[in-house]
Structure 1
Amino acid sequence: MKNLKSLLLLLSVCSLALFNNCTSETQSKNTGDKDSTAAIPVEISGVTRGSISAYYSTTTTLEAEEEAMVVAKVRGIVESLQVEEGDYVQKGQVLAKLEDEQLKIEAQRAKATMDRLYNDYQRNQELYEKQLISAEQFENAKFEYASQQAAYELAQLNLEYSTIKAPISGVISQRMIKVGNMVNTDEEVFKITDFNPLLAILHVPEHEMSKLNKNQVAYLQVDAIQGQSFQGKVLRISPVVNPETGTFKVTVAVNDNTKQLKPGMFGRIRIVYDTHDNALMIPKNAVISEDGYNSVYEIKDKLAYRKNIETGYINGNNIEVISGLNEGDQVVTIGQSSLQDSALVEVVSY
């Protein structure tokens, strides 16, 4: 009887252990099923409408539209400087003065001689009208007066040239003289650069010729000025293609009222050659490109469905959607790499 009770007790313990083991396996299985269907966190964005443009992009170095090398027109010693490098000057503004005492004396002497010859000419004219002198004598007096008049005007011009003036408006980009220097005729003394507009000279492949036209809008960004864009326009397009390079020359004028841009700056330029208004757009990072096809994950009822789309122009962070989506649809922008078609998702940012 005692053995029977021990056997029954042992069977009870084994049954309880087996039940507990089965319960644990069932709970473990249920937990695994729950984890396998957990929602994947994603960020999404809506399909919107707006204007999107196509660009021709390239790099460029800025050049000045107008640049003039100022030269001395007479020989002399620099008496004073009126401007310095970096100064903005107007056309005709005085840049420097040369010593002019000798030129003044030469002009005065030329005028005195001219006045004397003028009196001789007047007297000879009266005598000629009274037929008291020959026509040859009268013509000689007339010629001497005219010749001296030209000499006086030349002396006055040389005196005026002792004041060096700006031939164009712009910025003094270089000064080559100092006070006390002797400068000779045609010696370079200043360099003036007109910074507005500045030019971006592009050499564009010939297959782009049909896209570009005069007056198209362009945007310039330079490495020296981060985060700022400058607007310009296509100024002229060469009709000739260089047979050696297969390119044609495009000149873009860039206006900078802030005067931050300088000749020689390196930058990147984009020319807008077409714009689609009221176009469907999504963020560029929503698009998955594989095997020549573009697709997105569209969100419907907390599920992500992969859809192929046809894309168009790319503008900054946006890309045009030609087909495959409608306005108001929602697409995944972050988290696509963890998704499969029809995956359960949790939107964490919109």
Structure 2
Amino acid sequence: MRKKIANCRWFALLFLAIFACGEEEAQQAGGQGGRAGRAGRGGGAAAPVKVETVQRGDISAYILKNTTLEAERWVDVRARRAGQVIALLKEEGDPVRAGAVMARLDADAAQISVAQREISYREAKQRYEREDALFQRNLGSKQTYESAKTQFESSKAQLEQAKLDLSYTAIRAPIEGIMTLRNIEIGNMVTNNQVVASVAKFDPLLARIQVTEKDFGKITVGQIARITVEAAPEKEFTGTVKMISPVVDPESGTVKVTVEIPRTDKTLLRPGMFASVYIITETRQNTLVIPKKALVLEGEGNQVFTFETDPESGRGQAQRKRIEIGFTDSDRLEILNGLSQGEQVITVGQEGLRPGSPVRLVGEAAPPAFAGRGGQGRAGRGQMGQGEGRAGRGQMGQGEGRAGRAGRGQMGQGGQRGGGDQMGQGGQGGRGFAGGGQGGGDLTDRMKRIIERLPEVKAEYEKRVKDDPELATNMEKLRAFVAEMREKGLIPARGGRGN
């Protein structure tokens, strides 16, 4: 009996040893490369970026005000008599000289009136001449003479008025300029004093701005101003301060300043355009400058990302640097501290970058992905390799592990445990993203949240997804889309979180 018990104990110990070894082998076989499934940190696809070199140049401090451009003179043309329009001689946009006929009204009635007044005038003149001759010889009464004289002068005035009314059938330009508006068509009936057209003198144009009392002392007549318009933001026009109001508006505490702008580009600059006026107050020469779009606003202080070359791999990587800013103009920044001449700052593609992030210049071929530390994801607990499974333990599900962050492999699928007499097999390892791969769900979600917050960008994104559904899932295409939108100024620059 004791011998039988001893044999049972021996078999039990042997069984436990085999079970333990089998389970360990299953875990090793099923989970091989699980830890290696996490791609090497700092790996991943290189983000496409554009760069510009830190250079020296001149930059100015200025007072910036927004306004609308005005014509130097703008006159409404009014009908000076009633009548029907029979001819239009000028169209909107045509240049006109002062006194040029722009339209004509029906003149039949006016011509008849002139003819009648001429007859009356001739009769009155003859009577006056006859009575004057008699009166000079003392053959006629003074009363008759005075009556004839009055009638003559009255008929003369009536004739002149009739001729003037006839001249009003020709609607003329009051000033030299451009016909900017026409309110009438052939066949229309117009009334006396009705506005039928407008004429403006475009050269020079005027920009009237309001400056505070604090800035008023920095401006003098003749001072240079730079002007940009929304229709051509890349172009810059030059003007001069023409007039400074002698009084301060007591309600706003501002002074009106008028800037005169020669119309050098007659096809572009027009009255009514929204314009930004920069009045230069100080200029610094031969100082370090960078494009304003390179600036990344994050946390405290101003920052930029520079394009560096990794000395070990020779590949591009981004490095964040804090900078001190001096003067700024419409598209440039003066650098007082933090950068050196010749460094390259990233101007497009900063979105989501971190210090050390792999980057490449737009147009360069993408380098091969980093190998990371392995290829297989972590497996679930496998079954015993051989032998009997433990009775009653059932099956484990094949649940996928959660997707890792950018650069980490996915968790593998769990293997099955033996149930009853079933022999277990080792679980399969899940596949990691190639080379630390696809960038991870967190960055994709963050980019899509940015797109959702910006209506114009969202509309363009949805339009492109219809044409290319892969844009919604491909990290490389999504990053290129965000970079393009940021280059167009539709997405403001924001830096990624540091390590």
Alignment of 1:63-74 (within 5 A): 63-74=70-81
Gapped regions of structure 2 (runs ≥ 5): 1-51, 302-323, 347-353, 356-499
Q: Does residue 217 in structure 1 map to residue 208 in structure 2?
A: no
Equivalent AA in structure 1 for residue 124 of structure 2: L
Q: Which residue of 1 aligns with 2:265?
A: 258
Amino acid at match of 2:160: E
Deviation at 1:318, TM superposition (A): 6.5
Single out whichever of 78-87 and 149-158 deviates more from structure 2.
Answer: 78-87
From 279, 283, 286, give the equivalent of 2:289.
Answer: 283
Instruction: Find the aligned partners of 2:159 and 2:144 in 1 and give their Cα distance.
Output: 23
Measure how far apart 1:53 and its partner are: 3.7
Cα-to-partner distance string for 1:284-329 (whole Å, 9 max, x where unaligned): 5799xxx99xxxxxxxxxxxxxxxxx997556647497xx9xxxxx
Contact 2:54 2:345 in 1 (8 A): no
- Report the alpha carbon displacement of residue 56 of structure 1 after superposing the two structures with TM: 1.4
In structure 2, the partner of 1:273 is 281
In the TM superposition, what is the alpha-carbon distance from 1:142 to its structure 2 partner? 1.5
Amino acid at match of 2:80: K
Shift of 1:51: 5.9
Residues 106-134 of structure 1: CA deviation (Å, up to 9, x unaligned): 10111111111111111111111101123
Partner of 1:194: 201
Counterpart for residue 297 of structure 1: none
Asked if 2 retains the 8 angstrom alpha-carbon contact of 1:52 and 1:320, the reply is no
Matches of 1:335 and 1:111, distance apart in 2: 85
Q: Normalising to structure 2: TM-score of the pair?
A: 0.49
Q: For the Cα contact (< 8 Å) 2:248–2:255, is it kept in 1?
A: yes
- Seen in structure 2, the aligned counterparts of structure 1 residues 163 and 198 have a Cα distance that, compared at 3 Å, is same
Counterpart position of 2:91: 84
| Structure 1, gaps ≥5 residues long | 1-42, 293-309, 325-329, 339-350
RMSD value, Cα: 3.5
Query: Equivalent residue of 1:196, what SS?
Result: strand
SS of structure 2 residue aligned to 1:96 = strand
Q: 1:227 to 1:51 in 2, by over 3 A?
A: closer
CA shift digits 1:55-98 (9 cap, x unpaired): 21121212222111111111111111111222222211111111
User: Is the alpha carbon distance of 1:180 and 1:332 closer, same or farther for their aligned partners in structure 2, counting shifts above 3 Å?
Assistant: closer
- Aligned residue pairs, count: 274
Letter in 1 for 2:289: P
Deviations 1:215-270 (A, max 9, x none): 21211111112311122211211122222222111111222232212222112111
State the Cα distance separating 1:52 from its structure 2 match: 5.0
Letter in 2 for 1:262: R
For residues 102 and 190 of structure 1, what CA distance do their matches in structure 2 show? 24
Deviations 1:39-58 (A, max 9, x none): xxxx9867x6x765432112
**Range moving further from structure 2, 247-256 or 153-162:** 247-256
Corresponding position: 1:62 with 2:62: no
Does the CA contact (< 8 Å) of 1:283 and 1:333 recur in 2? no
Query: Is 1:106 matched up with 2:113?
Result: yes
Q: Distance in 1 between matches of 2:236 and 2:168?
A: 43
Q: Does 1:123 align with 2:130?
A: yes
The 4+ residue runs of structure 1 with deviation greater than 3 A are: 43-46, 50-54, 273-276, 284-287, 310-321, 330-338
More strand by share: 1
State the SS of the aligned residue for 2:192: coil
Query: 1:303-342, aligned counterparts within 5 Å?
Result: 314=328, 317=332, 319=334, 331=341, 333-334=343-344
Amino acid at match of 2:67: T
Q: CA deviation at 1:175?
A: 1.4
Question: Is the Cα contact below 8 Å between 1:89 and 1:170 reproduced in 2?
Answer: yes
1:93 aligns with 2:135: no
Name 2:153's counterpart in structure 1. Answer: 146
| Partner SS, residue 239 of structure 1 | coil
Question: What secondary structure sits across from 2:256 in the alignment?
Answer: strand
Give distance in 1, aligned partners of 2:194 and 2:345: 69
SS, match of residue 185 in structure 2? coil
Return closer, same or farther for 1:274/1:283 CA change in 2, 3 Å cut-off.
closer
Distance 1:335 1:113, change over 3 A: closer
Distance in 1 between residues matched to 2:53 and 2:58, nearest whole Å: 21
- Confirm or deny that 1:157 pairs with 2:147: no
Asked whether the 8 Å contact 1:220–1:267 carries over to 2, the reply is yes
Q: In the alignment, is the contact (CA less than 8 A) between 1:280 and 1:320 conserved in 2? A: no
Question: In the superposition, relative to structure 1, how do residues 234 and 128 fare at CA in structure 2: closer, same or farther (>3 Å)?
Answer: same
Q: Under a length normalisation based on structure 1, what TM-score does the superposition of the two structures give?
A: 0.68
- Distance in 2 separating the partners of 1:44 and 1:66: 46
Query: Does residue 1:185 correspond to 2:192, yes or no?
Result: yes
